[in-house]
Chain A
Amino acid sequence: MTDVGFSATRRLILQGAGAVALLGLGNLPFGLTPALAAANDKYPEEAFKAKSEADAIKALYGKTAEPSDKVKMDAPEIAENGAVVPISVTTTLADVTSISFLVSENPVALVASYKIPAGTLPNVANRIKMARTSNVIVVVEAGGKLYSANKEVKVTVGGCGG
């Protein structure tokens, strides 16, 4: 498979994630909404190569995020299984165009980036892999600005109860 082909496949997967969100609304046409066009429509190869979350955010958005209590992340304090950690996010921010998940201590920080078409509820739940205990960062792009929330999630070998 060529590099171009690989990127195209990945791009399809990302758009597919957008489509999942769209399905909830019923009948918006796939891949044609202005919101999707407005967001990065090229596979963000550099962002998915970045080691640190700051580099990944910069590569993905070209700007930095400010913490916001309007970004509500639901994540466990201690993961029941590092291989499938349920993380979800909702926000009351208006005009959300994308939501991204990053894990500082993973070999590659950016885990997933979702495009949020206009009219879609900004609510994403996914299960991510975590190599070890780390900060998990959620970035919400809304009205052209970046907002974030973060929480430490502990990955442990398991302990002994009292």
Chain B
Amino acid sequence: MHIRRRDFLTLAGAATLSGSLPRLARGADNAGVYDLERFGNARILHITDTHAQLRPVFFREPSVNLGVGPMRGNPPHLVGRAFLDRFGIRPDSADAYAFTCIEFEKAAGRFGKLGGFAHLKTLVDRMRSEAGSGRAMLLDGGDLWQGTGLSNTLQGADMVDAANLLGIEAMTGHWEFTYGEKALRANLERFKGEFLAQNVYLTEEAAFNDAKAFDPASGRVFKPSVIKEIGGYRVAIIGQAFPYVPIAHPKRFTPDWKFGIRDEELQKLVDVNRNNDKVDAVILLSHNGMDVDLKLASRVTGIDVILGGHTHDAVPQPIAVTNPAGVTLVTNAGSNGKFLAVLDLEIGKGKVANVRYRLLPVFSELLKPDPAMQSLIDKAREPHAANLNEKIGVADRLLYRRGNFSGSMDQLICDALLGELNAEIALSPGFRWGTTALAGQPLTMEDVMAQTAVTYPETYVQTMTGGQIKDVLEDICDNLFNTDPYYQQGGDMVRVGGLAYTCSPNETAGKRISELKLDNGHALQAGKSYKVAGWASVNEQTGAPVWDVVAKHLRSGKPPNRAAPGVTLKGVEDNPGIAGQG
């Protein structure tokens, strides 16, 4: 992809003119994109869900991100045009490319890749130095150590080095836990920042057996919070890990730990920070997901800002939530290294007087890579480069994953499962990480790993009845569309191959999925058994790793399946979380 600086010149300028919302206004030249008006006395920089993407990526934002119940039509459940309108972003602009799926391929050619830790480092350093010494800090919301072949092989060790060089001062976790306690603790030994999690506790058995804990009295496994001095003020940072690690992933990785949202414990912690520690501001560094954070903000009082992640929602403005004691701002900072959030605070004694927030896209073409970080990345990759760079196929079309029900990349994975494992039906998890490949682009092992790099990649083939298959779809659908966010887990709908179905997201659990049909047009029968292939099961499996299955399929050069994914949606025709095109 070629850099076209001229596009940036005109379009960034246009964005300024259209700027009914000043926070999105950008300067008129390249460097100006990152010129921020000075504000406040403390700057908090936030990245989240980078999924170990050390190098710049293409990542297409979703065209389907439905909100149901009270979440319908509200951020983050807006896509395409509705998203641009809500946030005052000019169509055809660099921001429109970064934040939405509109004309993705065309815009990708003009504006290039986003992210990359060497580029991010340059931007972080600039934001820090502009804030002034002792006035800035960098936080990471988790999902830092997982998502690439390299991080999978090194169990996240590469990302600890990158985090230290980037200067991450505190983080929380999600996929970090899937490396298991031993690897997690080994990484944390080397991590120079703090790992914070107020909502991870020892199980009763583990506590009884004196398992390691930060606070044996309460059973808290990790330090819950830290108080940092910035700009002469005391700011409490509380960590909130992903609440459903042992449910969304195999329990065997975290046998001694229990999770949960635990907003009562959180409230106590905030109260102690406010009343005893006399902090001036409280920040929650959260991996709850945006809908959960919005609900939490309405219940827990005393938090100034929730810096959120997990659901990979790139939301340009904070959402203000009223609760019995005031207002809490809720943000979500996107994924895959595409964005750097800049939260400028004007802190006074015991309170935050004013706030300015910007979610800056990390346009790799506009940022000079930091040489030290670039060399760190190159050195970490070098021993594995031959394997990662191996070309195994070509993208026959735009391949992307993100979307509530399907993505062309997952269709490819389902085709591989069906073909290589000789099954009637394929199931593939609805992860929200996984980069985008442009049509015609060579596909390497690194590209395949970017879709599949988990610690439980084993494939399976099993017999399931039609009834069981429907139950699984219903169950996962409720994780996505329960109208109470506390009963959601984040992630998207399981992807299916060889199967078509109708989904009514507004229905209740057990009533959303209907009209299940096999590829041959026959209705799925509740009592009949079918051969189902899949991967990333929470139960232990023994099949070949899915990346080998996908690679074998690509190498075989079988003609790509171009059939549209067989999901018919009902009752969401006017929902602004679904884009007509793009």
Contact A162 B260 (CB under 8 A): no
- Nearest opposing residue in chain A for B242, CB measure: A161
Chain B residues contacting A158 (CB-CB under 8 Å) are: 247-248, 538
Mark interface residues in B253-292 (1 if CB within 8 Å of A CB, else 0).
0000011110010000000000000000000000001000
Mark interface residues in B133-153 (1 if CB within 8 Å of A CB, else 0).
000000000010000000000
- A159 CB within 8 Å of chain B: yes
With beta carbons under 8 angstroms apart, the residue of A86, A157, A160 that contacts B491 is: A160
Most buried by A among B247, B289, B431: B247
Main secondary structure of the interface of A (DSSP, over half): loop
Contact A161 B490 (CB under 8 A): yes
Mark interface residues in A67-88 (1 if CB within 8 Å of B CB, else 0).
0000000101111110000100
Chain B residues contacting A79 (CB-CB under 8 Å) are: 247
- B531 CB within 8 Å of chain A: no
Contact B248 A77 (CB under 8 A): no
State A10–B381 Cα separation when bound (angstroms): 64
Contact B433 A162 (CB under 8 A): yes
Taking CB atoms and an 8 Å cut-off, the chain A residues in 125-161 that contact chain B are 133, 152, 154, 156-161
Contact B487 A160 (CB under 8 A): no
- B429 CB within 8 Å of chain A: yes
With beta carbons under 8 angstroms apart, the residue of B431, B509, B538 that contacts A162 is: B431
State A78–B258 Cα separation when bound (angstroms): 12
State A154–B487 Cα separation when bound (angstroms): 7
Contact B431 A159 (CB under 8 A): no
State A74–B479 Cα separation when bound (angstroms): 21
B339 nearest CB across to chain A (Å): 16
| Known contacts A78-B244, A78-B247: A162-B490 contact under CB 8 Å | yes
Mark interface residues in B478-507 (1 if CB within 8 Å of A CB, else 0).
110010001101111010000000000000
Taking CB atoms and an 8 Å cut-off, the chain A residues in 60-112 that contact chain B are 74, 76-81, 86
- B156 CB within 8 Å of chain A: no
How extensive is the interface on chain B, given as a class? 35 or more
Taking CB atoms and an 8 Å cut-off, the chain B residues in 505-556 that contact chain A are 509, 536, 538
- Nearest opposing residue in chain A for B244, CB measure: A78
Contact B487 A152 (CB under 8 A): yes
With beta carbons under 8 angstroms apart, the residue of A77, A156, A162 that contacts B486 is: A77
Contact A162 B475 (CB under 8 A): no
State A77–B431 Cα separation when bound (angstroms): 22
Chain B residues contacting A77 (CB-CB under 8 Å) are: 260-261, 486-487
With beta carbons under 8 angstroms apart, the residue of B49, B174, B248, B258 that contacts A160 is: B248
A92 nearest CB across to chain B (Å): 15
Most buried by B among A77, A81, A158: A158
Chain B residues contacting A80 (CB-CB under 8 Å) are: 246-247, 251, 258-259
Taking CB atoms and an 8 Å cut-off, the chain B residues in 124-180 that contact chain A are 143, 174-175
Chain A residues contacting B486 (CB-CB under 8 Å) are: 77
With beta carbons under 8 angstroms apart, the residue of A74, A76, A133, A157 that contacts B472 is: A157
State A135–B492 Cα separation when bound (angstroms): 26
- B249 CB within 8 Å of chain A: yes
A158 nearest CB across to chain B (Å): 4
- B237 CB within 8 Å of chain A: no
| Known contacts A158-B538, A161-B174: A78-B431 contact under CB 8 Å | no
With beta carbons under 8 angstroms apart, the residue of A74, A86, A161 that contacts B489 is: A161
Contact B432 A162 (CB under 8 A): yes
Contact B312 A159 (CB under 8 A): no
With beta carbons under 8 angstroms apart, the residue of A74, A152, A156, A162 that contacts B247 is: A156
Chain A residues contacting B289 (CB-CB under 8 Å) are: 162
- B85 CB within 8 Å of chain A: no
Residues of chain B whose beta carbon lies under 8 Å from any beta carbon of chain A? 49, 143, 174-175, 204, 242, 244-249, 251, 258-261, 264, 289, 310-312, 429-433, 471-472, 475-476, 478-479, 482, 486-487, 489-492, 494, 509, 536, 538
* 24 pairs of residues in contact across A and B, judged by CB atoms under 8 Å: A76-B260, A77-B487, A78-B247, A78-B489, A80-B246, A81-B251, A154-B478, A154-B482, A154-B487, A156-B475, A156-B478, A156-B479, A156-B489, A157-B471, A157-B472, A157-B476, A158-B538, A160-B430, A160-B492, A161-B174, A161-B248, A162-B432, A162-B490, A162-B492
Apart from A159-B476, A161-B244, list 11 A-B contacts with CB within 8 A: A76-B260, A78-B244, A80-B259, A152-B487, A154-B487, A156-B475, A156-B479, A160-B248, A160-B476, A161-B174, A162-B143
Residues of chain A whose beta carbon lies under 8 Å from any beta carbon of chain B? 74, 76-81, 86, 133, 152, 154, 156-162
